Amino acid sequence: MTDALAVGDALPPLSLQVTRAGLVRYAAASGDLNPIHWSDRVAGSVGLPGVIAHGMLTMALAGRLVTSWTGDPSAVVGYGARFTRPVVVPDDDEGVALELTGTVKGIDDAPADDPAAGRVATVLITASVDGKTVLGRATARVRLPA
């Protein structure tokens, strides 16, 4: 992140692999053991195209785009997204690539009554798999360095 940050600037893109092994680790850590995240049979029985990544895992991975850019996860003061399409994860060692890009949509000056709060950038995040977006309205608010 640079001091000369401007609206329209792009964040460095990031590509992350989502694998079945990663889903198992996330399920154990989160306590979300729903079999749609590990069983093709169960996922298919409820109409899914295959095992899908946890939505919150997808959102967390997308957030990594911003924390990698800032170098300081505590600079993120807000983050939200909508789940628009599931991330289908094949049963192989490669998994699927989650492609992440971001653009600075706006920069707010520090409030006059609290200049120490600093400026805040709004970043629009695009998360996609095979060219199809998997998150909608993914937006992060990031405190900029003084």
Confidence band of 68 (pLDDT split at 50, 70, 90):
very high
Residue 88 domain flag: yes
Tell me if 123 is assigned to some domain.
yes
User: What does the block give as tokens for 3?
Assistant: 């001091």
Residue 82 lies in domain: 53-143
Query: CA end-to-end span of the chain, whole Å?
Result: 12
Q: Report the domain count for the chain.
A: 1
Confirm whether 139 is domain-assigned. yes
> What value does the mean pLDDT take over residues 49-70?
97
**Mean pLDDT score of the chain, rounded to an integer?**
94
Q: What is the CATH number of the domain that holds 137?
A: 3.10.129.10
Q: What is the pLDDT of residue 48?
A: 97
Query: Which is nearest to 142 in space by CA: 41, 40, 74?
Result: 74
pLDDT at 2 exceeding the cut of 60:
no
